[in-house]
Amino acid sequence: MSNYQTLLMAVDLSEDSHAVAAKAAALRDAYGATLHIIHVIEPLSFAYGGDIPMDFSGIQEEIHQQARTQLTAFGEKYGVTEANRHIVLGRPEVEIHALGEELGVDLVVVGSHGRYGLALLMGSTANGVLHGATCDVLAVRVGS
> Is 59 inside a domain boundary?
yes
The structural domain count of the chain equals 1
Across the range 40-54, mean pLDDT stands at: 67
pLDDT above 70: percentage of residues in the chain: 82
Question: Taking the model in full, what pTM does it have?
Answer: 0.84
> Is 61 inside a domain boundary?
yes
What is the per-residue DSSP string for the chain?
-----EEEEE--SSTTHHHHHHHHHHHHHHHT-EEEEEEEEPPHHHHHTT-S----HHHHHHHHHHHHHHHHHHHHHTT--GGGEEEEES-HHHHHHHHHHHHT-SEEEEEE----THHHHH--HHHHHHHH-SSEEEEEE---
> Is 74 inside a domain boundary?
yes
Assign 54 a pLDDT band (cuts: 50, 70, 90): low
> Is 1 inside a domain boundary?
no
> Is 39 inside a domain boundary?
yes
pLDDT of residue 20: 93
> Is 125 inside a domain boundary?
yes
pLDDT of residue 117: 45
Across the range 75-85, mean pLDDT stands at: 97
Given a cut of 70, whether residue 144 has pLDDT beyond it is no
Q: List the domain range (segments joined by +) for residue 40.
A: 6-141
CATH number (domain holding residue 135): 3.40.50.620
Given a cut of 60, whether residue 91 has pLDDT beyond it is yes
